[in-house]
Amino acid sequence: MVFALNGFEVKCACYSKYLSMRDFEGFEPMFRALGLQDLIKYGTFNEIAEYQINRDCDVRELLKSLVLKDEFQTSKPNIDLSTEKRPQVLLIDEVDVFFSSEFYGNTYNPQA
């Protein structure tokens, strides 16, 4: 919350969807009271990675558009790079799990 109060976009990542949502729901009233709800995002490692990958546009739609050369597309993906980006910080909950052999060193392999 301190980071968000100082203008950072905060991502809180956890291995567990349940723990992540429980924590978010516990703090949400305070985030709303302080007007920080748009600056703080909770999710699993995969959800946070997906959010970051698709932050400026839907990468899958962009790739589809490039491969098909818009022959079957009626609209091009909208990529908005004109807005100023806030500094970001990633907080990892249950960091001991993050550094376990199940997570640490593995790659994230999204699929279309």
Token pair for 95: 């960091």
Q: Is residue 23 within 8 Å of residue 91, measured between CB atoms?
A: no
* pLDDT score for 18: 94
Residue 16 lies in a domain: yes
Domain membership of residue 40 as a residue range: 2-98
* Per-residue pLDDT tens over the stretch 74-91: 555 555 555 678 899 999
Q: pLDDT tens-digit profile of 44-59?
A: 988 998 888 877 777 7
* Per-residue pLDDT at 98 exceeds 80: no
Distance, in Å, from the CA atom of 34 to the CA atom of 102, rounded to the nearest integer, reads 37
Q: Is residue 108 part of a domain?
A: no
| 110 falls within a domain | no
Q: Is residue 107 situated within a structural domain?
A: no
Question: Does a structural domain hold residue 109?
Answer: no
Number of domains forming the structure of the chain: 1
